[in-house]
Structure formats: structure tokens, C-alpha cells
Structure 1
Amino acid sequence: MMKFKDVLFCTTAFVPVLSGAKELPNIIYIVTDQQTASAMSCVGNTDVHTPNIDRLAQAGVLFTNAYCSAPLSGPSRASMFTGHTSHEIGLARNNVPMPDSLRATTLGVLMQHAGYECAYAGKWHVHTASIPDREFGFSVLHPHTDHGLAEASVAFLEREHTRPFFLVVGFDNPHNICEYARGQNLPYGNLPELSQDEWPGLPLNFSRHPYDADVITYEQSLNYSTYPTRHYSPDDWRRYRSLYFRLVEKVDAEIGKIVDIIDRRNLWKNTVIIFTSDHGDGVGAHQWNQKSALYEEVVNIPLIVTLPGKKNAGKEMPQLVNAGVDFFASVCDWADIPLPGGLYGVSFKSLVESADPEQAHQPYVVIETTFDKGITRGWALRTPRYKYVLYDKGNYREQLYNMEDDRGEMRNLALEKNYREVLQQHRAYLGEWMRRHRVAQIRPEVHLIPE
């Protein structure tokens, strides 16, 4: 691994101190946009072929229960790069500028102060589409476009580096499914159509169950541009799923260019590589497209971590991870940076290094949402066995699912007496989390959580 000295922080410059040499790994962070956890062939999905993402999984550790911090690009990415939940810092929606008070402690700035060469290529979206050059600790390699993004990243990795580097590669796809649903041209080129008999089938949870939160249907009715699929036929949904998986394959091919240079330069030996997505897509489950809703397809995302030397290659881990705040904490951990005060992310570094599926981690993770261009707020709390969902209004706004038996979320246990104790425990967990993260209640005598 590259060696770098302990550092002394000052307000104007980075000054190395000559004592106490440390070995710090390079870190490459590859993040796609709107890719659900199941949209990879390495997890057994035969409707999509992702040989390059699969190469990362074969070389690394795959987390099966990783969740986005918020199922919307801006809030999710804000969480990744600030270490805060997006709502507590006023970044619950897209296109909201980051508060000036946070700029000095964003991840790139901390990494730069720790001695890393920090480079950013592709989508930023906190809040501008492209990250401004020399701000937030990063030098810009490439703007927000998938055209030429992999090539710019490859050129960076081809160079000799005298310091450990932190490279972020932010792809836009498979986000182009949004343009497809709206009947628009795809920004990076249209895709060839498969014949109808090659379209994938409908998911087993295609139908919405009768005790699903009714506010989801209400949100669909408010925003036709975001949800033009309300009156899709089953074949419309099959075509949608086919194009979505083709977009995943398209971005997989671009990721392959980066994996190839990692191979050619043998960067595996001294580099941590993290692959994830900012959130998923409904992909027709519960007849839902896009994000915002707290369905599993929307909030459960890929997370693959490869260690230097491909240690623990091919392992799977079931522990719960928040790929926003926990990602921030983990990168700080690898870079030997103390986690700034007031942050609650839990590093997954020790999990990856032990690869012990029985290792204790954290009891729950929480995903929060404000619907894109909508009015509904919601929270999902995932424990090892159950998932508790709460929206701030509407009929059946509470959901409880057994994720071992019902990953498709088709039986709402919150209505059943036998699960009353489980429901109360998950309410208590969410109440604890809301207090910690200063979630504003409706008013003092009306709490968001029932009872």
C-alpha cells in the first residue's frame, strides 16, 4: 500500500508530519443511479447480464441488506458526502444547495486533509449536476455525463500517483429509464428493442396488496410526469422492465472499462473499491416506477466492497448497512480520519475485513423519504428480520413485513394481533432514531408514530 505520514491540520494548507508513518489504501467509489439491488446477474437475476459488476462481486464482499439513506438522488448523495441524514440538514429534496456550515467537513475535504488526492468524475447532484472544480475537496475529471466518463476515469488511473487517491466515478444510468417512461430520447443514445417474447415476466409482487399505504396512489395522481405508468398494461410493464435491464447492462459495460484498468495496473493490491447506487427503481413491483416510495426494490441497493489483495473475495454478508451515513463513516475509517462530532454512521470496514456473517453490527437502519415533487414524508426501519414502514398520512400508513418470508412485501403484519409486540418494538426503534436525528413532529401533542 502507499505510505503517507500523519498529518497536521491547519486552515490554509496540508502539512505532513514526519513521525508515525501509516499505510493508507487507495479508494475507488463507483456509484450508479437508480439501480435496485436485484439488477445484477451475480445475485441470480437471469433477466440481466452484468459480467463486470459480477467481477467486482467475485473479487469482493457483497452485502445483501444494504439500503440507501433516502430514495432520491440529491438527498441520498448529500448523505454520502456529508455523513448526515439529508432531512436533518435541510437537503430532503433535489436541487437544494448545501449549507455553508457543512462545506468544510464534507468527505472530499476531510480526505484531502488526510493526504489523499481526491478526484471526481460524473454525476454529483449535491445540488448541481456536476461538482464545481476544486470545491468540496475534489478536482473534477469529467462533468455529469456518461459519455467519456469511464475513459476519463481510466486516464486518471493510468497516471502515477505519489499519494493515495480517492476517486469517485458517478454514472447516470440506469436513470435513463425516467426518460424512457416519459417517451423522451435517452441522453446517452437509445437502445435496441428486444422482441416481445424476450421481455422479462412480471415480478411476483406486481399487484399491490389491499393494505398498502393509500398515499402512494395519491402521490402518483399528483405527478404525471414522474409517474406516467399509472395506466400501463402488463405488457407495457414487461417492456419497461426489459429496457431497464438493458440500461443496467449499458452501464455495466462502462464499469468494465474501469475494472479492466484495475486489472492491467494490478490496483487490486492496494485499493479499496466500493460499488453501489444512490437508490433503486420500482421496476414494476406493486406497479411502481421511479423512486421515493419505500418499497424494497426502491430502497434496497447493491453494495460490493473489494479489499486490497482481494481479501475475502466472493463472500456475502447479511448485516444491515446504510449506504449513505455508513459509507461516509467507512471511508473515514479506511483513511484513519476520526468521525466528526454529531455523526452516527457505522463503519462497515471491520465487517468486510472479517467477512463473518455472524458478526454483530447494528440493530437497525432507517431510510427516510419526501416524495419527489410531492407532499408525503415517510420512514422505513429495517431490522434483521422485519421491515417497518411509516408514512405521515393516509390509510394503512403503517406497514410491517417479515423480510425472511415476504421480501416482496405482500402481507402487512401491522394489522395482525399476533405481531403487536413486534410492531411496538419497531415503533420504539423509530422513535429513538427520530429523537437522535431531530425529526420534527406534527405538533407536541400529535406524534408521527402511532400510539
Structure 2
Amino acid sequence: MKVKNMVKQIPIRHLACFSMLCPSMAYATDRPNIIYIFTDQQTANAMSCTGNPDLHTPNLDRLAASGIMFNNAYCTAPLSGPSRAAMFTGHYPDAVGLSVNGSPMPGSLEAQTLGTLVKNAGYDCAYGGKWHLPLLDVPDKEYGFDNIYKHSDDGLAEACSEYLSRKHKNPFFLVASFDNPHNICEYARAQNLPYGNIETPDIRDCPGLPANFAKNPYDADVIESERANNYNVYPTAGFTPEDWRMYRYTYYRLVEKVDKEIGKIIDAIDKNNLWENTVVIFSSDHGDGVGAHHWNQKSALYEEVINVPFIVTLPGKKNAGKVLPQLVSNGVDFFASVCDWAGVELPEGTAGKSFRKVAEEGNPEALHQEYVITETRFDGSKTRGWVVRSERYKYVLYDKGKHREQLFDMQNDRGEMRNLAMENVYNQELQKLRDTLEKWMNTYNIHPSRPKLHDVPGKKLQSTRQYRTAYK
């Protein structure tokens, strides 16, 4: 690990003495504080600043007004443990054995976790809330972080606010990891919610059904199989339209609940005059189906599940209020970007690309990267799937079942109701994204359990119809 912009041309013995007198001066003095606030299971449009009329999130709206909102941000994996693994190791989860909840951190990565790298670069590092790698609470100091609060939304904002009020000699990296709106999982199972139940509404006060509520006849049949075989996770098979509307109502109230807690941290940033030298990043580990395609929970590769909120507030609130369309991974790119701001060279083999330059330039036309990748592995069945999201198209591949290959036009069909993989006119774009995924798989030594579409024995597949027939 190297630190960028270190003081140069000073004899080591003098530098050592100097740093003993003032430790933080051994590093560049212009590195910002970094605050990362993230929620659990919040879909991208679950903020009123996106134009969603079904909820009110004044504090997230405050962040969006003072920062830059990336509206094409994707989680690296739509499940808590793997998503967080990407954030804090910089690796794709499947490439390092962290693709399901409960996977232990490989010993080879412990010295290269984000907290350790940033701490070794001279930062004070603190973490409060849910960790889930694999323990729910971050082990104190084990991954570079001081554990300042347990896995609970009750009291987390207050603990973070107290941390922000301290006098820090060094720049700091603070992570505030909230649990909600994850409590929608308990709601779907008719269980009591950990931080208090949401009052049952009058159905007339509930949001309507989403435009893409209907099941797509060309949807991957593995989705229905997962729903049928995991009732405790997806207990919505018998939901009526009214049940789904109440689900959506409760989900948005849980987002509003965590928004109120986030507001306390924003107030602490204000009170302690930290905006001038602090980067504040907000996101979520993954989204929720919120009833789209009759889906609740995560793991599936629907937009509602993998497209996540992503707001970056720069020091001095530069480029405040901008909305950028660039493709960003809130996992591996987040890791790379925090390293960039902290002056840390990326460890060899990490996968992300820093979005710092894109954010600081604020140019919506600037190319950040041509695509982002999301991967999934369902708990239980271990069904695997991947997304290649390009500027216009979204390619989906599952490793089993009918209709396992999908293509959607994200400019004209964000609700994913027309599977273009079934239409021969899109063969060229389909093949391009197939090739992109295959190249990515080879790069990270990730291979599906079934043969790739190019490798069906004895078949030279020229058309979408032939690909489709080969995998029925």
C-alpha cells in the first residue's frame, strides 16, 4: 500500500521526528474527511427528490440539493453480505468467495480492507451500525475501524453525531450503516418490526401499484422457482393487489423513518462546520422489489433491486444539485473512490474505478466507464445471475432455466416489460453484451455452472431463436 502526495525530499529521520510532533502532517494536509452513510434495501427512487410522490424524505433531499446525484448507480450484488464485501474489499464477491451471506472474510483480504488501508494512510476510522461481513457488528479495530455503535438504528445517529463533534487531529473516515428499510422483510412475514411497527393504513392512503406490477411472460422462470421454494423469504405468493399496496405504503414509511435518523447526522455536519473539507457519500447496499413484477426482497436482478440511490457531496458543496447519468458501481467503484480521496494506491487485483474526477468535473457528457456489472447468487438454491448494464441496454443472464437471457432498453423500458432478447433485430447488441460478460468472467475467473451461450456442444448458433431453443 502506498500513500499518494506524501511529503517528499525530506530526510527520513527528520520526517519521523516531524511526524511524532504532528502525526497528521506526515501526509498531505488537503485530504478530506470522508463520511459514508448507507441504508439497507433502499431502491433508487425511494427518495422524494427523484419525483416519487409516495414518500417524503426531506433529509435525503437536503443531501441531493447539496451534492451530486448519480441516477445510474448499481450495487455489485443485491444481497447484504456480498454487496458490503464489494464496498469494503474492492473485489467482486464471487471472485473472492464472498457471494452469499455468512461467507467469512478470506484471511488474505483482511490487510486490504478499506478501513485498514485508510487507517494506515493516517485517517481516524470509525464504523457504526450493521457490518455483516459476516458478523452483524464490525469487530473493533479488526478491519481498521473503531466500532462506535452496534447493529441498531436506535441510537446510531446520536453516536455518529457525537463522533463528528470531536476534535480530530487527523482526517477521519466515518461509516454510518443503517438497517432500515430492511424491516420490510419482517413486515412481509407478518412479524413485529425491530424498531416499532408501522400503523396499518386505510387502503385509500396507500400508493397505487407500479406500472410494471404485472409478471412478464418472458421473465426468467428461475425467479418464480425461487419464490415458490423459499416461502419464508418471499411470502407474497398469496398477496392481493391490496396487500401489495399496503406493502408499498409500509416500505415508504420505513424509508421516511431512516431519513429522519440521517437528518441528525446532516445536522451534526452543519453544527460542526464540516462541509468545507468533507466528502459525504450516501447509498444503499441494494434495493427492494417494492411490488414490481410481483417481487419483494432482493437477489433478483430487476432494476428496483439493483439500481440504488447514490449521492456524493463534495467539499464546499461543489457542483451542488447536479444529476449525472454516468454508470457507477456503489461497491467496487466506491472502494476505489474512497482510496482516491484518502491518497491510497489501489491494491493489486481490485476491480473498481474511482468516480472522483467525474464528480469534481460535473460534466454529464464525460465517459466514466462503458458498463457496470452486477452479480447475484441466491441463498439456498445458489442460482447465479449477472447483469451487464451499458449506457442504453441492460443484459441479464441466469445460469439455469427458461428465458434465462434477457435484454432491455433502459431509455424506453426502465420497467423491463419487453425482453428484446426474444427479438432477432437486437441480435447485434445482444452479442456485444454477451461478449462483454464473457470477457469479464474470464478476467475474474468466474464461470457459470452451465456452458456459456457460445459453448453449446455441436451447435453454431446464429440467431436469437437458436440461442433460445438451446436453453429451453
TM-score (norm 1): 0.95
Whether 1:60 and 2:61 are equivalent positions in the alignment is no
Query: By how many angstroms is 1:440 displaced?
Result: 2.5
Secondary structure at 2:201's aligned position in 1?
coil
Across the two proteins, how many residue pairs are aligned to each other?
A: 441
Map of 2:192 onto structure 1 = 185
Map of 1:11 onto structure 2 = none
Over residues 8-55 of structure 1, what are the superposed CA-to-partner deviations in whole Å (9 max), with x where a residue is unaligned?
A: 9xxxxx986967744110000001000000100000000010000000
Listed as ranges, the matches of 1:151-162 within 5 Å are 151-162=158-169
Map of 1:287 onto structure 2 = 294
Secondary structure at 2:173's aligned position in 1?
strand
Query: By how many angstroms is 1:265 displaced?
Result: 1.4
Over residues 346-385 of structure 1, what are the superposed CA-to-partner deviations in whole Å (9 max), with x where a residue is unaligned?
A: 1000011001000011110010000132331000110000
Distance 1:276 1:413 in 2: 30
Instruction: Determine if contact 2:81/2:98 at 8 Å carries over to the other structure.
Output: yes
Distance 2:153 2:444 in 1: 35
Over residues 93-136 of structure 1, what are the superposed CA-to-partner deviations in whole Å (9 max), with x where a residue is unaligned?
A: 00111011100010000000100000000000011000011110
Map of 2:372 onto structure 1 = 365
Distance 1:408 1:144 in 2: 34
Map of 2:468 onto structure 1 = none
Distance 2:126 2:442 in 1: 36
Instruction: Determine if contact 2:31/2:342 at 8 Å carries over to the other structure.
Output: yes
Residues 280 and 58 of structure 1: is their aligned pair in 2 closer, same or farther, counting only changes over 3 Å?
same
Instruction: Determine if contact 1:33/1:73 at 8 Å carries over to the other structure.
Output: yes
Distance 2:423 2:48 in 1: 36
Map of 2:126 onto structure 1 = 119
Whether 1:436 and 2:439 are equivalent positions in the alignment is no
Secondary structure at 2:30's aligned position in 1?
strand
Instruction: Give the letter for the 1:228 counterpart.
Output: P
Instruction: Give the letter for the 1:132 counterpart.
Output: P
Distance 1:449 1:58 in 2: 47
Residues 214 and 195 of structure 1: is their aligned pair in 2 closer, same or farther, counting only changes over 3 Å?
same
Residues 346 and 129 of structure 1: is their aligned pair in 2 closer, same or farther, counting only changes over 3 Å?
same
Instruction: Determine if contact 1:5/1:18 at 8 Å carries over to the other structure.
Output: no
Instruction: Determine if contact 1:6/1:22 at 8 Å carries over to the other structure.
Output: no
Displacement over 4 Å in runs of 4+: 4-8, 14-20, 448-451
Map of 1:315 onto structure 2 = 322
Map of 2:343 onto structure 1 = 336
Instruction: Determine if contact 1:133/1:140 at 8 Å carries over to the other structure.
Output: yes
Whether 1:400 and 2:407 are equivalent positions in the alignment is yes
Whether 1:231 and 2:238 are equivalent positions in the alignment is yes
Query: By how many angstroms is 1:447 displaced?
Result: 2.4
Whether 1:87 and 2:91 are equivalent positions in the alignment is no
Whether 1:43 and 2:50 are equivalent positions in the alignment is yes
Distance 1:56 1:221 in 2: 40
Map of 1:212 onto structure 2 = 219
Identity of aligned residues (%): 61
Over residues 163-198 of structure 1, what are the superposed CA-to-partner deviations in whole Å (9 max), with x where a residue is unaligned?
A: 100000000000000000011100011122322101
Instruction: Determine if contact 1:6/1:17 at 8 Å carries over to the other structure.
Output: no
Distance 1:244 1:449 in 2: 41
Kindly report the root-mean-square deviation, in angstroms, between the aligned alpha carbons of the 2 structures.
Answer: 1.6
Secondary structure at 1:126's aligned position in 2?
coil
Instruction: Determine if contact 2:384/2:448 at 8 Å carries over to the other structure.
Output: no
Secondary structure at 1:191's aligned position in 2?
coil
Structure 1 unaligned residues grouped into runs of 5+: 9-13
Instruction: Determine if contact 1:392/1:448 at 8 Å carries over to the other structure.
Output: no
Structure 2 unaligned residues grouped into runs of 5+: 13-18, 456-460, 462-472
Query: By how many angstroms is 1:246 displaced?
Result: 0.2
Distance 1:258 1:309 in 2: 17
Instruction: Determine if contact 1:209/1:410 at 8 Å carries over to the other structure.
Output: yes
Residues 344 and 375 of structure 1: is their aligned pair in 2 closer, same or farther, counting only changes over 3 Å?
closer
Map of 1:379 onto structure 2 = 386
Distance 2:156 2:449 in 1: 44
Residues 111 and 181 of structure 1: is their aligned pair in 2 closer, same or farther, counting only changes over 3 Å?
same
Instruction: Determine if contact 1:283/1:289 at 8 Å carries over to the other structure.
Output: yes
Distance 1:372 1:70 in 2: 12
Query: By how many angstroms is 1:344 displaced?
Result: 2.0
Over residues 212-258 of structure 1, what are the superposed CA-to-partner deviations in whole Å (9 max), with x where a residue is unaligned?
A: 10110001111100000012100000000000000000000000000
Distance 2:311 2:131 in 1: 20
Map of 1:250 onto structure 2 = 257
Instruction: Give the letter for the 1:382 counterpart.
Output: R
Instruction: Determine if contact 1:202/1:237 at 8 Å carries over to the other structure.
Output: yes
Over residues 131-152 of structure 1, what are the superposed CA-to-partner deviations in whole Å (9 max), with x where a residue is unaligned?
A: 0111100001001011100000
Distance 1:246 1:373 in 2: 30
Instruction: Determine if contact 1:34/1:174 at 8 Å carries over to the other structure.
Output: yes
Query: By how many angstroms is 1:404 displaced?
Result: 0.1
Distance 1:448 1:217 in 2: 22
More helix by share: 2
Distance 2:291 2:325 in 1: 25
Residues 322 and 18 of structure 1: is their aligned pair in 2 closer, same or farther, counting only changes over 3 Å?
closer
Instruction: Determine if contact 1:386/1:401 at 8 Å carries over to the other structure.
Output: yes
Distance 1:17 1:34 in 2: 37
Secondary structure at 1:24's aligned position in 2?
coil
Instruction: Determine if contact 1:28/1:274 at 8 Å carries over to the other structure.
Output: yes
